[in-house]
Amino acid sequence: MEITLVILKPSAVQRGIMGEVISRFEKKGIQIVGMKMVELTDEILSEHYSHLAEKSFFGRIKDAMRVSPVVVMALKGLDVINVVRKLAGVTNGRDAQPGTIRGDYSMSVQENIIHASDSPQSAEAELKRFFSENEIFNYSHHLLPYLYAND
């Protein structure tokens, strides 16, 4: 089992679609093992988006993430890092496939509803960045036999 980090960005919070997006993860069979609303600081965002520090839009995306609180989520499942990236769709909402979260809810590159970790290494670092150990819960998911059978 893997755990991945998802952020419901201000574009989800402001538009009132947090519940719909969370519901997609639940219906897919992904277990929510951590979730909270937080206001992100410029410092934590500089770390989170450090791979984009040289880009002209670096300041703009950090500001956009501070327009309102965000919801950070720890999601657990088999291959969940890859599964959630697929559910999210590609970065630009206008290019994202219909059926994906960005494809269904976004018309923007910047305001693209969610962040999702893109590798096991970034999931590990990002979970540590946004959650303390006692905020991620280990509990049994009663649907497991129906979700995975013998996978």
Residues in contact with ligand UDP by CB under 6 A are 52, 57, 61, 91, 109-110, 112, 115, 118
> Which residues are 75's β-sheet partners?
4, 32
Report whether 60 belongs to an annotated binding site.
no
State the catalytic residue, choosing from 48, 51, 115, 141: 115
Q: Which is nearer to ligand UDP, 91 or 97 (CB)?
A: 91
In three state form, how does the secondary structure of 29-92 look?
CCEEEEEEEECCCHHHHHHHCHHHCCCCCHHHHHHHCCCCCEEEEEEEECCHHHHHHHHHCCCC
100 assigned to a ligand binding site: no
- Min dist CB 30 to ligand UDP, Å, is 18
Residue 134 burial (CB count, 10 A): 7
Closer by beta carbon to ligand UDP, 94 or else 143: 94
CB of 90 to ligand UDP, least distance (A): 7
Q: Is 115 a catalytic residue?
A: yes
Q: For residue 98, which of 109, 84, 87 has the smallest C-alpha distance?
A: 87
Token couple for 99: 């059926």
Q: Please indicate if the annotation marks 130 as binding a ligand.
A: no
Residue 70 CA to its chain's centroid (Å): 10
- At its nearest, how many Å lie between ligand UDP and the CB of residue 133? 25
Q: Give min distance, CB of 62 to ligand UDP, in A.
A: 9
Nearer to ligand UDP, 109 or 125 (CB): 109
CB neighbours of residue 34 within 10 Å: 19
Query: Is 129 one of the annotated binding-site residues?
Result: no
Are the CB atoms for 80 and 141 separated by under 8 Å?
A: no
**Residues taking part in catalysis:** 115
Residues placed in the known binding site for ATP: 9, 57, 85, 91, 102, 112
